Chains A and B, each alone.
Chain A
Amino acid sequence: VADADNQAVVRRYYDEVVSKGNYDVLGELFAEDYHSHHNDPIGLPTGPEGVKQFIGGTRAGFPDLTITVDDLFGEGDLVASRWTLRGTHTEEWFGTPATGKSAEWAGVVISRLADGKIAEEWFNFDQLRLLQQLGIIPSG
């Protein structure tokens, strides 16, 4: 599998799943044993189902969610990307009642691909800025 193909898989995840909520393609994009190393207070399952719950929950809380892919590149079986998410918190979001506030937050991701699917991810996003913009924790 060429580097460019791996990058296309990650881009398709952002375009189809994060941007449009098309969860039917998750099985094509994520390995059955996919796991993420991010600090997960939700207790998401591994595999495509965990991605569905995570993106589904975020899109439910921020129904106007948009993603801007700011960078995406790869080497070998790894793909790096960074993005900006923007949305308005008009619905409950993983147990947090709607605040009605708009937020934008950045994320940086390294994805490892195996046989053309995302098998592993390391990512961190700006939880601090997000929670500050929603007024859940104080700014400053």
Chain B
Amino acid sequence: MTTTTEDNLAVVRRWAELVNAGDIDAAVECLAPDFSGYFTGMPEAVHGPEGFKQMYLGFIKPSFPDQRITIEEELASGDRVAVQVSWTATQQGPFLGIPPSGKGIVVAGTGIFRVVDGKITDEWMQEDFLGIYQQLTQG
């Protein structure tokens, strides 16, 4: 299959939209079976669509059920896509030892994806952990 950088950008945009919609089963169909995800604070990679789904259901959704990713900058070259995102969410469950605060947060993230044959094979995403911590605990 021949894919272009525009196709790869479309896969990443679709991935973000489906995660935003909370449709995790459809979202993980954007991921390759051998997907590896490298995320802030995690010493080990998340593996496969099922690994991502477990992280989302176990770690993200309970604390931030309304989480939303907005792509603000993007570029693509070869099989890679880079994005600058803002991440908005309301804390509804415990997170990093912080009890549910009901606070709304907006933090930045920067990520690189590798897309092969229309599926995301790798994601490296760093989020502003300091900002999350500051916004949940201050003010």
Contact = CB atoms under 8 A, between A and B. Distances in A.
B78 A108 contact: no
Contacts of A110: 73, 75, 82, 84, 110
Contact of A80 (B38, B75, B107, B131): B75
Interface in B92-108: 107-108
A20 B5 CA distance: 35
A54 interface: no
Interface string A60-87: 0000000000010111101010100000
Interface in B30-52: 38, 40-43
Interface residues of A, number: 27
Contacts of B5: 75
A129 B44 CA distance: 11
| Interface of chain A, main secondary structure | strand
Contacts, number: 83
Interface string A32-64: 000001110100000000000000000000000
A127 B129 contact: yes
B99 to A, nearest CB: 16
Given A80-B82, A107-B126, A110-B84, A123 B110 contact: yes
B125 interface: yes
Contacts of B124: 71, 82, 106, 108
Given A75-B5, A122-B84, A106 B126 contact: yes
Interface of B: 5, 38, 40-43, 73, 75-78, 80, 82, 84, 107-112, 124-131, 134
